[in-house]
Structure 1
């Protein structure tokens, strides 16, 4: 399995940080019963030298990404149409200076032959204006794909977003563990550990709107700054 900086920092690291409740469930609850079975499975290599442990981590990374993108990002932004990368180029948005926005709009027209709607057209058809901007932003991203500064901000946004998605699964697992270690496999330490973990993982969920909005705005500003420099 090929990896890169984005995958390791934005997907793998959040998965590791949010897998602690699952590891505690295995270690304190089922390790004796599963150790022989897991050892047997890990003795075999899968296609492309993917072991069972790597496959599980990859699977959890995909779940975290799905939850963070489909549940949180789409909930707050309705896919691309309401993300900061779209909002910043709306005529009605005053975040950027008009002169800077005008330079971006002109550069987009020159580079990609995409004409963004003017103020009157935007007022009459806001959705079409957003769709046009979204298409233009996709081209801007492709044009700045190799920019190291932009990649760093993209990693930061991806890390935060995927950490929030992973925290949902981690919180659910922690709740399950709390009841399990309280009533089924009585273990005071594991019970307290998962109680603390539940509090830790609930925090990014509660702050999800603030975190995703803040980091996505950082990314959007850097995207257009670096695009103008290109």
Structure 2
């Protein structure tokens, strides 16, 4: 239970990992609870017990695991993490003025010498290694930032995990729609029958099931894609490097030479 409370308390865990898992289960949970919850309180109790015993943690773990797996595919497609890509001289996402300003700030604030365009061109892997190291150090120094940077990080993690759960989410929505049609009596299995007239008064449980499932299905199909994750990733990279001016300089100042006695 302590682990569950820690998950829910942490804003990143709650919004970027737990929410995608719950949204996958929602099209199934809504009709089950609406149809059977009032008649069978035991079902509601079992659902609460499962949540308390680890179902929430399991959903968060699945979303995180699938998210990390799809992130590897996306990073290979992008040519690197957004935080690495934007620091490259050859990349055009940032304007040259901002890029040079960030390079200078990394050298000044973090004490990490950044490669020149010629050095990057001669040895791209070494340059990327420096960019990754500088980014990792910057993240360590900005972990206390609970404002916009954290929000951008949560947005990236949420979109990445939603993309990772997309196929499961679509399947869940389809099952929710079918179940909604069945309890609305629009569909009938035995004998097979389709009666669209029941759409006029599907009932509360069927109506909620269809609305939730259709809305989530539209979101899965129309919004959560690789481009959305890329946008969130590069937005986070921009916010991260915008934190550089607020950091204290880590480069020691040179002491003035002591005056020598005449």
TM-score normalised by the chain length of structure 2: 0.66
Secondary structure of 1:19's partner? helix
> What does residue range 9-48 of structure 1 map to in structure 2 within 5 Å?
9-24=15-30, 26-27=32-33, 36=42, 39=45
> Normalized per residue, which structure has more helix?
1
Structure 2 equivalent of residue 47 of structure 1: none
Other-structure match for 2:58:
59
User: Counterparts of 1:70-149 in structure 2 under 5 Å?
Assistant: 70-71=69-70, 73-78=71-76, 82-147=80-145, 148-149=147-148
Q: Runs of 5+ in structure 2 lacking a partner?
A: 187-201, 248-262
Q: Is the 8 A contact 2:180 2:210 kept in 1?
A: no
Do the aligned residues in 2 keep the contact of 1:164 with 1:204 (CA within 8 Å)? no
Distance 1:224 1:164, change over 3 A: same
RMSD (CA atoms)? 3.5
Does residue 223 of structure 2 align to residue 204 of structure 1?
A: yes
Change (3 A) 1:214 1:177: same
Counterparts of 1:201 and 1:95, CA distance in 2: 27
- Tell me what 1:215 maps to: 232
Greater Cα radius of gyration, structure 1 or 2? 2
Q: CA deviation at 1:41?
A: 8.8
Unaligned runs of 5+ in 1: 43-50
Number of equivalent positions: 218
**CA displacement at 1:142 relative to structure 2:** 1.1
Q: Secondary structure of 2:243's match?
A: helix
For the 8 Å contact 2:159–2:229, the answer to whether it is kept is: yes
What is the TM-score of this pair, normalised by structure 1? 0.74
